[in-house]
C-alpha cells in the first residue's frame, strides 16, 4: 500500500485490510463498523430519546455538497451556521454539534451499509457526524474518547422516490468528480432526511471509531433501528453518478465505499429497547 487509503473497489492493495499498515489505530480493539447481533444486545433502560435541536429548522445559509474522493459529504457552507444543530440526551456523555453528513453504499449488484444487522448488510447507510461541544476542532476532538458522536441510519429501498432526498440526489451530477463541490440552491431541514418522525426511540449504542483512516477510537455510535426509505432510482444515482479520484485515464465509479464489520472484542452493544 502506498501513502493513500482506498476501498477494495478502487484497488485491493490499499483497501480496508491494509489500513492498519498506514495507521496503526485501524488495527485497534474498538474499531467500527461492527455487526449488530440482535441476540446479543444488552438492554439499557437509561437510553431514552435523543434530543434533536435545530434539526427542524432550515439552517441560515446554504448546504454545500462535495465529493471528497471517498464519499459525498453534505455540510453547511459557513461552519458557524451549524452551531445550533445539536444532539444531547439519550445517554450521550455531552452535547454534540453537527459537522457534516455523508453516505456509504454498494454497487448495482449489492448492498453497501457499514454496520450490519444480524450479519446482513443493508443497501446504504447515512452518517451524521457530530463534535462534542467541549472541543473546537476535529483534530482536538480526536484526542478525547468521547470527542465525536456519529448517528447511523440504514436505508431501505422503496419503489417510490423519497421526495425529501430530491435536492441531494439532483446535486450529485454537480459533484461527479473527486474534489467537486456545489452550494445547493434550495434548502431543507435536516430532520427531513431522517426516518419518519417519532420513530427514533429504537437505537443501538456502542463505543467505536471513525470508519475511515485514521480510524480514531473517539466515537460514541448510535445506529437507529428504523430505516430511511429511498427510491430505487435515487439509490442508483449514488452508484452511477459519482466517481473515485482517477488513478489513470479511465474514470472509476464510486461504488462499495464501505468498511466491513470489525471485531467487537470485549465491547457490548446496548439497545434502547427490548
Ligand atoms: O468516513 C468519514 C470521514 O469522511 C470523515 O467524515 C470522518 C470524520 O472526519 O468520519 C468518517 S465516518 O466514521 O463517519 N465514516
Ligand atoms: Zn461514514
For residue range 195-219, what is the model confidence (pLDDT) as tens digits? 987 789 999 999 999 999 999 999 9
What CA–CA distance (Å, rounded) separates 127 from 165?
15
Q: What DSSP line would sit under 218-268, residue for residue?
A: -EEEEEEEEEEEEEHHHHHHHHHH-BPPPSSSS--B-----PPP---TT--
Query: Is pTM beyond 0.90 here?
Result: yes
Q: Ligand 1 pocket: which of 211, 244, 256, 259 to mutate (most atoms <8 Å of CB)? A: 211
Give me the pLDDT at residue 78, please.
83
85/60 Cα distance (integer angstroms): 11
Name the residue with the closest Cα to ligand 1, atom 1.
212
Residues with CB under 6 A from ligand 1: 70-71, 102, 127, 129, 138, 150, 210-212
Average pLDDT (217-222) is 98
**pLDDT tens figures, 248-264:** 899 999 999 999 999 99
Cβ-contact 48, 88 below 8 angstroms: no
Tell how strand 86-89 and strand 42-43 pair up: unpaired
User: pLDDT digits over 138-172, tens only?
Assistant: 999 999 999 999 999 999 999 999 999 999 999 99
**DSSP character at residue 196:** S
C-alpha cell at 186: 434550495
Residue nearest to atom 3 of ligand 1 (CA): 212
pLDDT, residue 248, reads: 87
Residue 267: pLDDT over 50: yes
CA dist 187 and 168 (Å) reads 10
Q: How confident is the model at residue 40 (pLDDT cuts 50, 70, 90)?
A: very high
CA of 33 from ligand 2 middle (Å) equals: 9
Q: Which ligand has the minimum distance to the alpha carbon of residue 210?
A: 1
- Residue whose grid cell is 488495527: 27
Identify the bridge partners of residue 66 per DSSP, sorted by sequence position. 73, 181
Q: What are phi and psi of 13, to 5 degrees?
A: -75, -20
Return the best residue to mutate from 70, 210, 216, 220 for the ligand 1 pocket (most ligand atoms within 8 A of CB). Answer: 210
120-121/116-117 β-pairing: antiparallel
Q: Catalytic site residues?
A: 70, 135
Measured by CA distance, the residue closest to atom 10 of ligand 1 is: 210
pLDDT in tens, 84-108: 999 999 999 999 999 999 999 999 9
> Could you report the per-residue pLDDT of 2-27, keeping only the tens digit for each?
479 999 999 999 999 999 999 999 99
What would the pLDDT profile of 178-189 be if each residue is shown by its tens digit? Answer: 999 999 999 999
CA angle 109, 112, 116 (to 5 degrees): 125
Residues whose beta carbons lie less than 5 angstroms from ion ligand 2: 127
The minimum-distance atom of ligand 1 relative to the CA of 127 is 14
pLDDT of residue 83: 85
The band of 237, judged by pLDDT with boundaries at 50, 70 and 90, is: very high
Nearest in space to 105 (alpha carbons), one of 182, 168, 36: 168
The pLDDT value given to residue 2: 44
Using CA atoms, how far residue 256 sits from 71, 95, 117, 125, 239, in Å, is: 10, 32, 17, 11, 9
| pLDDT at position 1 | 36
| pLDDT for res 198 | 72
Whether residue 95 contacts residue 112, with contact meaning beta carbons closer than 8 Å, is answered with: no
Amino acid at each position: 500500500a502506498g501513502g493513500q487509503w482506498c476501498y477494495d473497489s478502487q484497488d485491493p492493495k490499499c483497501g480496508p485490510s491494509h489500513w492498519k499498515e498506514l495507521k496503526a489505530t485501524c488495527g485497534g480493539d474498538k474499531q467500527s463498523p461492527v455487526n449488530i447481533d440482535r441476540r446479543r444486545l444488552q438492554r439499557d433502560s437509561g437510553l431514552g430519546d435523543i434530543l434533536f435541536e435545530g434539526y427542524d429548522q432550515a439552517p441560515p445559509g446554504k448546504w454545500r455538497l462535495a465529493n471528497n474522493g471517498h464519499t459525498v459529504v453534505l455540510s453547511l457552507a459557513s461552519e458557524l451556521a451549524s452551531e445550533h444543530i445539536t444532539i444531547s440526551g439519550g445517554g450521550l456523555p455531552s452535547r454534540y454539534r453537527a459537522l457534516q453528513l455523508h453516505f456509504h453504499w454498494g454497487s448495482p449488484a449489492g448492498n453497501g451499509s457499514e454496520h450490519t444487522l444480524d450479519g446482513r448488510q443493508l443497501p446504504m447507510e447515512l452518517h451524521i457526524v457530530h463534535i462534542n461541544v467541549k472541543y473546537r476542532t476535529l483534530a482536538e476532538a480526536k484526542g478525547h474518547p468521547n470527542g465525536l458522536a456519529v448517528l447511523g441510519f440504514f436505508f431501505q429501498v422503496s419503489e417510490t422516490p423519497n421526495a425529501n432526498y430530491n435536492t441531494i440526489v439532483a446535486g450529485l451530477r454537480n459533484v461527479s468528480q473527486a474534489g467537486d463541490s456545489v452550494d445547493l440552491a434550495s434548502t431543507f431541514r435536516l430532520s427531513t432526511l431522517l426516518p419518519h418522525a417519532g420513530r427514533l426511540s429504537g437505537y443501538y449504542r456502542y463505543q467505536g471509531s471513525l470508519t475511515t483512516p485514521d480510524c480514531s477510537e473517539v466515537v460514541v455510535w448510535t445506529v437507529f433501528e428504523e430505516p430511511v426509505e429511498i427510491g430505487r432510482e435515487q439509490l442508483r444515482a449514488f452508484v452511477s453518478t459519482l466517481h473515485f479520484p482517477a488513478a489513470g485515464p479511465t474514470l472509476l465509479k464510486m461504488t462499495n465505499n464501505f468498511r466491513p464489520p470489525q471485531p467487537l472484542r470485549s465491547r457490548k452493544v446496548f439497545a434502547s429497547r427490548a
